Amino acid sequence: MREYPKGTSSMQIALSISEGLARNVLSAKVNGEVWDASRPIENDATVQLLTWNDTDGKAVFWHSSAHLMAEALEALYPGTKFGIGPALENGFYYDVDFGGKEFSQENFKAIEDKMLELAKQKNDYQREAISKEKAIAYFKEKGDEYKLDLLEGLEDGKITFYKQGNFTDLCRGPHIPNTGFVKAVKLLNVAGAYWRGDEKNKMLTRIYGITFPKAKELEEYLHMLEEAKKRDHRKLGKELELFAFSEKVGMGLPLWLPKGAMLRERLESFLKRAQVKAGYQPVVTPHIGSKQLYVTSGHWEKYGADSFQAIKTPNEGEEFMLKPMNCPHHCEIYKTRPRSYKELPLRLAEFGTVYRYEQSGELHGLTRVRGFTQDDAHIFCRPDQVKEEFCKVIDLVLFVFKSLGFENYTAQISLPDPNKKEKYIGEAAQWEEASNAIIEAAAEKGLKTVTELGEAAFYGPKLDFMVKDAIGRSWQLGTIQVDYQLPNRFELEYIGADNQKHRPVMIHRAPFGSMERFIAVLIEHCAGNFPLWLSPDQIAILPISEKFHDYAEKIQNELMAIDIRGLLDSRDEKIGRKIRDAEVRKIPYMLIVGEKEQEENKVSVRKHGQGDLGSISLNEFISLFNKEISTSM
Ligand SMILES: [Zn+2]
Ligand SMILES: [Zn+2]
């Protein structure tokens, strides 16, 4: 709690704390809204200073960089017209109309140089409130029909311009203090984009770029992009023969090939074992459900128009939906008989396949698909059990992360926006109880957390896990959500100790999120070098020539009998070629057998990425193998 005179800006607050802090302040969150750091605060407010370390801080930085790029474009290509220039998760773009002038990546260097030159001038981003009439007059004179089009939808009295150097843009902001914060620039891509996304409109040129406050960060980012290309799960999925897509089957519907299916099954049984230990009970429900089920759940009303359309039967009026979520089915399982408080929590788990219609342009490998399997479970519990259940789910999620080598994660606690209570259903007391339960559970488990107000679902607060992969990218994986809505809609009840009817709380949770997305992230995280226990092929047996096939087969059978999986490369190829191929397929161990090995009843072992481990007996290899598995799980 600090006191300042009316009209003090966030930047002045930062300065009053320390100059070092002020140098890093990009903008500020004032009562939950992101503002220019220079904007005067007129009333009591909660103020959060935003730096490069905040997602919102980065967004302001990148959006301001879009203005900087526009300024450079206007200087280099006079007469350029501008559409919109938003920040992205990484970087920014601006849609521009060069009026028919040729434009390609060859022009990038000149624009980057110009941007850096303008950045050095440290021009302030100046906010100016302007009347609609004056704003229209400005862009009429400039001849920018896109800004005029945007202005049409804006309300007089709420329009602002932002000006830096010689460039003025129609924008609601906010922006960083001045262009000097931008120290490194890279334009990344150029593509066509219809104005307002409508193909009836003119095609504009979309230029993508990214900027940083330090040159070193740009270098690191470019290195990461290179690495990401090598690790792209779509590329590795093909090379390792894990999954494929077929136009005939349909877009966004992955086909799991034998090796991918094996990987998936291993992951499933790993989690199933952990879940049984944690008191979950498996259930199985169909892939479709009557439309009425989704009318009750509310999905029909909220998503019906944008999802796969109803399946009709020969009976008039009979309609089914492809299952978009497993929860409604599980609610009906809960309702199959009366429940007592003594049997709660009831934990119903299902690897349930769901179908959601995504626009074809949104589809991406395994991370955005139209059919996917959730490692879903629903916990039905009493309100006083929410915290303990949360703790248990956190334990499970962390066990999964540890077993799969995700060591760097944070948890986001998503709470309701205290100023928009009308957005949320359920009683205030319940919300508070559940929010506290999540906060306490996360603290008890020692999680590194960030709290976001206003990010809760309308039906309850939640906890999301953000995982950093081996090359520093963040992915949202596991999620745990409290839900007050579905128990109401399905009128779920239990008989309490007081012999009265009560409503249970429902917790949705999925440690992986979905099998498809999780495997995509896992592939990119470990670059296809799966932990030994998970590898589809754990070993490759490579006979030096046909003479040793019998011995190789004997070894394969012995290993298969104790559940060590692998292939026997019986092709008539040179051993060097067989080794290379096994390396490309990232098979963890190669067992090479020739005359000497057969005579001594041994195998020559090569480890992927490490090379020759020498010749040992099969039993020695098995204990080496088992040791590696037991230390990684
Ligand atoms: Zn702007
Ligand atoms: Zn659910």
Sequential DSSP letters for 92-115: EEEEEE-TT----GGGHHHHHHHH
Answer yes or no: are the C-beta atoms of 588 and 538 closer than 8 Å.
yes
CA of 374 relative to ligand 2 center, distance in Å: 9
Helix (H, G, I), strand (E, B) or coil at 152: helix
Burial of 565 (0-12, 13-18, 19+ CB in 10 A): middle
Token pair for 398: 């962390």
The confidence score (pLDDT) of residue 405 equals: 86
The confidence score (pLDDT) of residue 512 equals: 92
pLDDT tens, 447-476? Answer: 999 998 888 888 889 999 999 988 888 899
Give the residue-averaged pLDDT of 70-91.
Answer: 96
CA of 323 relative to ligand 2 center, distance in Å: 12
The confidence score (pLDDT) of residue 431 equals: 87
CA of 19 relative to ligand 1 center, distance in Å: 26
Which ligand approaches the C-alpha of residue 84 most closely?
1
pLDDT at 401 over 70: yes
CA of 274 relative to ligand 1 center, distance in Å: 49
pLDDT at 493 over 80: yes
pLDDT tens, 195-246? Answer: 998 989 999 999 999 999 999 999 999 999 999 999 999 999 999 999 999 9
pLDDT tens, 310-320? Answer: 999 999 999 99
Helix (H, G, I), strand (E, B) or coil at 494: strand
Which ligand approaches the C-alpha of residue 173 most closely?
1
Which ligand approaches the C-alpha of residue 352 most closely?
2
The confidence score (pLDDT) of residue 265 equals: 94
Which ligand approaches the C-alpha of residue 487 most closely?
2
Measured between alpha carbons, how far is 176 from 48 in angstroms, rounded to an integer?
A: 15
The band of 478, judged by pLDDT with boundaries at 50, 70 and 90, is confident
CA of 68 relative to ligand 2 center, distance in Å: 44
Alpha-helical runs (H) found in 490-539: 515-526
Label each residue of 172-238 as H, E or C: CCCCCCEHHHCCEEEEEEEEEEEHHHCCCCCEEEEEEEEEECCHHHHHHHHHHHHHHHHHCHHHHHH
90 against 302, higher pLDDT: 90
pLDDT at 489 over 90: yes
Give the residue-averaged pLDDT of 486-514.
Answer: 95
CA of 509 relative to ligand 2 center, distance in Å: 7
> If you ran DSSP here, which 8-state letter would residue 305 be given?
G
- What angle (nearest 5°) sits at the alpha carbon of residue 62, between those of residues 79 and 142? 20
CA of 158 relative to ligand 1 center, distance in Å: 14
Answer yes or no: are the C-beta atoms of 482 and 434 closer than 8 Å.
yes
pLDDT at 500 over 90: yes
Long-range contacts of 268-271 (CB under 8 A, 24+ apart): 268/351, 268/375, 268/515, 270/403, 270/533, 270/534, 271/375, 271/400, 271/511, 271/512
Q: Could you list the active site residues? A: 327, 356, 374, 376, 378, 462, 508
Give the residue-averaged pLDDT of 372-381.
Answer: 97
Classify residue 454 as left (phi > 0), alpha (psi -120 to 50) or beta: left
The confidence score (pLDDT) of residue 632 equals: 65
CA of 114 relative to ligand 2 center, distance in Å: 51
Query: CA nearest 588: which of 570, 565, 571, 618?
Result: 565
Helix (H, G, I), strand (E, B) or coil at 606: strand
CA of 65 relative to ligand 1 center, distance in Å: 9
The confidence score (pLDDT) of residue 427 equals: 81
The confidence score (pLDDT) of residue 254 equals: 97
Average per-residue pLDDT in the chain?
A: 94
The band of 83, judged by pLDDT with boundaries at 50, 70 and 90, is very high
Give the residue-averaged pLDDT of 371-391.
Answer: 95
pLDDT at 130 over 80: yes
The band of 306, judged by pLDDT with boundaries at 50, 70 and 90, is confident
Cis omega (within 30 of 0) on the bond before 314?
no
Give the residue-averaged pLDDT of 399-405.
Answer: 90
pLDDT at 565 over 70: yes
pLDDT at 400 over 80: yes
Which ligand approaches the C-alpha of residue 508 most closely?
2
pLDDT at 494 over 80: yes
The confidence score (pLDDT) of residue 426 equals: 76
Give the residue-averaged pLDDT of 502-530.
Answer: 95
CA of 168 relative to ligand 1 center, distance in Å: 10
pLDDT at 398 over 90: yes
Cα within 13 Å of Cα(365), Cβ side: 20
Measured between alpha carbons, how far is 8 from 40 in angstroms, rounded to an integer?
A: 5
Which ligand approaches the C-alpha of residue 63 most closely?
1
Query: CA nearest 128: which of 84, 86, 173, 87?
Result: 173
Answer yes or no: are the C-beta atoms of 540 and 582 closer than 8 Å.
yes
CA of 72 relative to ligand 1 center, distance in Å: 15
Answer yes or no: are the C-beta atoms of 53 and 21 closer than 8 Å.
no
Strands of the sheet with 33-35, listed across from one edge:
33-35, 27-30, 47-50
pLDDT at 633 over 80: no
Token pair for 525: 């995280």
User: The whole model's pTM is what?
Assistant: 0.81
Which ligand approaches the C-alpha of residue 171 most closely?
1
Single-letter residue type at 88: L
CA of 573 relative to ligand 2 center, distance in Å: 52
pLDDT at 321 over 90: yes
- What angle (nearest 5°) sits at the alpha carbon of residue 609, between those of residues 606 and 610? 55
